[in-house]
Amino acid sequence: MQTRAGATPGDAASDAGDDFGLGAGAGRLRVADAAGDALCDLVVGRRNPAGTGVYVQRAGAASVLVVGALLDWELAKLRQRDTTP
């Protein structure tokens, strides 16, 4: 896992949104428990240059993380399922 400290989407002093696809139009993944309390809230950006990972950022956090590209694949399956009649 890699991190880039100090990068915040939407922060004028940072180009994290441009660098990692975490700006306007980025995906969002929210996971909640049965009571509706947030367990995880991630901004999901684009894949890294090697295509092996996806840039993510915990909502409100400064660090940008790289997680396995499997996340992107699974989210794409969900998006496709939601748009298939």
What would the pLDDT profile of 21-77 be if each residue is shown by its tens digit? 998 888 899 999 999 999 999 999 999 999 999 999 998 888 999 999 999 889 888
What pLDDT, on the 0 to 100 scale, is given for residue 82? 74
What pLDDT, on the 0 to 100 scale, is given for residue 64? 93
What pLDDT, on the 0 to 100 scale, is given for residue 58? 92
Domain of residue 15 covers 3-83
Q: Are strands 53-58 and 3-4 parallel, antiparallel or unpaired?
A: unpaired
The total domain count for the chain is: 1
| Rounded-to-integer distance, Cα 63 and Cα 81, Å | 31
H helices present in 1-85, as ranges: 16-20, 70-83
